[in-house]
Amino acid sequence: MKIYGPASYNEQIATLSHYLHNTNFKGTDDEIQERHTELLNLIRDYLEHKIPSKKFTDDQICQLAESPMSFDLFGEFYQVPFPSPQKYKHSFIDLFAGIGGIRIPFDELGYQCLFSSEWDPKACKTYFANFGTVPFGDITKIPANKIPKHDVLLAGFPCQAFSIIGKMQGFADTRGTMFFEIERILKYHQTPYILLENVKQLVGHDKGRTFKVILEHLEQLGYHVKWQILNALDFGLPQKRERVIIVGFKDKSDYDSFSFDIPYKPYDLSEILEPDNQVDPSLFASEHIISKRREKTIGKNIFYPSIWHENKSGNISVLDYSCALRTGASYNYLLVNGVRRPSSRELLRLQGFPEKYKIVVTHQDIRRQTGNSVAIPMIRMVAEKINEIIKAKDYETSETQGLKAVADA
């Protein structure tokens, strides 16, 4: 994870944060020494930036490098809602990381994140506050050999190029070509397991040709691929959010073991709503907008709690769930009970983020970030199924090694 090319301070902090969360580095003696030297330099630069009035000796820097968790100086890296596991057996990388929605289920399973990448500064701020690592920036500028070897590749690669809202330009939009960055990394690392997420429109884009290209490229890399369009409504979330989930396995037996069979979990809108008296008054619609909404729902079945959704044609639907959260939608396209916009916490709940998830940016930023994020319970189901396969393989390996040891005795 050595810094590539001329490094900005943000890139230095990204490297430092990844080093601090990945202390069990394995490599040659020269690689370990090179990493240690860079860590010392990064810590010195960080402290000079954070406490310019204090000078640290070489011995002090070495002590900090040996046991960084023992010092309050690094609290912002470690005192977070989702800290890295102290011990781990399996690892993943988090590409197009956003605010970390795809990684949370793997964190819960005890996996270690070895590398993350996200270009949006506000998303990186949210990510750092919750995971203690600053994602690296533009993935197109990061050589594959600078990314650590890992067990699972996660990527919610940019969907705007394939979405209805994003005009569906596909590979003609530079955001659509980000899939080939994933392919580049997979080709180098031959990652055993992959989990990709995108809008359902990807499947039918350009009469299915775009999706066919993606599947063919994955198969050419030796992956056995399964995919399915899943809806957040089926996972206990009151949001109609349909996404295509793609999983890939290097081992055919792993592929055979995986299925998208899921138990349906009912949703309840009331569970995610906050009392109106606890919601920022600025989120309440004007009397004019409320009046217009009521006029358009005359004769319709009105009930509470509900989400009033206005589509592009101006029609109003009164629903017991939210339509898909979107980044570029009009400010009032979703109104809780027809009178107010969802709060930041409610938007996070609609995507299944845990209550301990920190909000460190503006409401407008959260609107954009949740619109770009994933339905966590949906990802959790897939993550658990992949983990079951990996655990079974671990058991088979340990059994084989145990039998070999007995035979050799």
C-alpha–C-alpha distance, residues 68 and 46, integer Å: 13
C-alpha–C-alpha distance, residues 329 and 327, integer Å: 6
- Which residues partner with 193 through β-bridges? 152, 249
Q: Which of 76, 125, 121, 130 is nearest to 103 (CA)?
A: 130
- Cβ-contact 95, 117 below 8 angstroms: yes
Burial of 52 (0-12, 13-18, 19+ CB in 10 A): exposed
Q: Give the ranges where 51-118 is alpha helix by DSSP (H).
A: 58-66, 75-78, 103-108
Token match 């197009």: residue? Answer: 96
Q: Torsions phi, psi of 279, nearest 5?
A: -100, 140
Token match 């394939």: residue? Answer: 162
Q: Which of 248, 338, 361, 325 is nearest to 287 (CA)?
A: 338
Instruction: Put residue 314 in one of left, alpha, beta given phi > 0 → left and psi -120 to 50 → alpha.
Output: left
- Cβ-contact 181, 156 below 8 angstroms: no
323 flagged as catalytic? no
Packed helices 58-66 and 29-50: angle between N→C axes, nearest 10 degrees: 110
Collapsing DSSP to helix, strand or coil, 208 comes out as: helix
- Cβ-contact 389, 254 below 8 angstroms: yes
Amino acid identity of residue 36, one-letter, is H
Catalytic residue among 62, 113, 159, 323: 159
C-alpha–C-alpha distance, residues 19 and 291, integer Å: 55
Q: Which residues are catalytic?
A: 159
